[in-house]
């Protein structure tokens, strides 16, 4: 596949292939219009299909990325190492400035207040037994490695 054909890769398949460090563009898609689905990527991983690792640059020729076995294995090793996320520091110091609302925001606030005040509001609650549904979700997650929402 050409790099320009990325639209045939479903977002979930793209995320899974990137997280596993594999190139999903070599897979044959079974989805609508030949799209590669998450199931295609999972099936390829389960079957042990040999897939080349993702190259770091889409414009780099394939010959350069697979010139030596060590160079081809490097992106997979780099993808498997955890990346430590740093939390930015938030400064609590400084002056607080109260900015007056413009006319548009005043009208929005007025209409929301009128709506809450004048229109009758209705609240309800229900109890639902979801034991069987939760059991089904658990079995799907364990058997097929799929999160159902």
Average of pLDDT values for 27-46? 84
Helix (H, G, I), strand (E, B) or coil at 56: coil
In the prediction, which pLDDT does 134 show?
93
**Global confidence as pTM:** 0.32
Helix (H, G, I), strand (E, B) or coil at 96: coil
As a whole number of angstroms, the distance between CA 89 and CA 65 comes to 38
pLDDT tens-digit series, residues 89-147: 777 777 777 888 999 999 999 999 999 999 998 889 999 999 999 999 999 999 998 88
């Amino acid at each position: 596949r050409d790099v320009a054909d990325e639209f045939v890769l479903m977002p979930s398949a793209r995320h899974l292939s990137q997280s596993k460090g594999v190139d999903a563009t070599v897979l044959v898609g079974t989805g609508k219009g030949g799209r590669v689905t998450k199931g295609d990527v999972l099936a390829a991983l389960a079957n042990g299909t040999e897939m080349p690792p993702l190259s770091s640059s889409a414009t780099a020729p394939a010959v350069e990325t697979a010139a030596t076995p060590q160079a081809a294995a490097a992106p997979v090793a780099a993808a498997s190492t955890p990346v430590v996320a740093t939390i930015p520091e938030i400064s609590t110091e400084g002056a607080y400035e109260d900015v007056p609302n413009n006319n548009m925001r005043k009208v929005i606030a007025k209409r929301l207040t009128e709506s809450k005040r004048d229109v009758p509001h209705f609240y309800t609650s229900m109890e639902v037994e979801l034991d069987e549904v939760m059991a089904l979700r658990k079995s799907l997650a364990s058997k097929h490695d799929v999160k159902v929402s």
